[in-house]
């Protein structure tokens, strides 16, 4: 399976440009795609972006040639799977307290995505 483009850039030692979308307007993705960005960071923890808006942003990012990485508002597996089901290229998971929490997130992505899991980016925020 091919790596996501931002993952391949990292493996090649190249810079990856990730930009926080900062809102709900999917039209911004076209501008980001044309600007040379590689990743659209969709922040559902610190903004009012809900699941429906995140779905639109993920779709718009894909159309614009960007990878989408979503920061969830929760580490709850049921919430995380919803973003993966909507084809997010990666997750930023807050409220991680220890190595076991981090391992649980990785295992969830492996289970939910099957062979496509290797194409997903998982970033955990250890906050203790």
* pLDDT at site 3: 56
Which superfamily is assigned to 5-126 in CATH?
A: Phosphoenolpyruvate-binding domains (3.20.20.60)
**In the sheet where 90-96 sits, what is the strand order?**
18-20, 39-43, 67-71, 90-96, 121-126
* pLDDT at site 86: 97
Beta bridge partners, 85, equal none
Q: Each residue of 93-118: pLDDT tens digit?
A: 999 999 999 999 999 999 999 999 99
* pLDDT at site 17: 95
* pLDDT at site 54: 98
The verdict on pTM exceeding 0.85 is yes
Closest CA to 105 of 118, 87, 123, 128: 123
């Amino acid at each position: 399976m091919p790596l996501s483009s931002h993952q391949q850039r990292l493996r090649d030692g190249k810079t990856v440009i990730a930009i926080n979308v900062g809102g709900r307007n999917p039209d911004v993705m076209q501008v980001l795609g044309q600007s040379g960005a590689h990743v659209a960071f969709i922040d559902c923890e610190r903004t009012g972006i809900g699941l429906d808006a995140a779905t639109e942003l993920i779709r718009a990012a894909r159309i614009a040639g960007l990878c989408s990485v979503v920061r969830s508002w929760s580490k709850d597996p049921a919430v995380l799977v919803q973003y993966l089901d909507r084809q997010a290229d990666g997750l930023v998971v807050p409220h991680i307290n220890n190595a076991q929490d981090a391992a649980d997130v990785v295992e969830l992505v492996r289970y939910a995505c099957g062979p496509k899991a290797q194409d997903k980016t998982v970033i955990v925020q250890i906050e203790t």
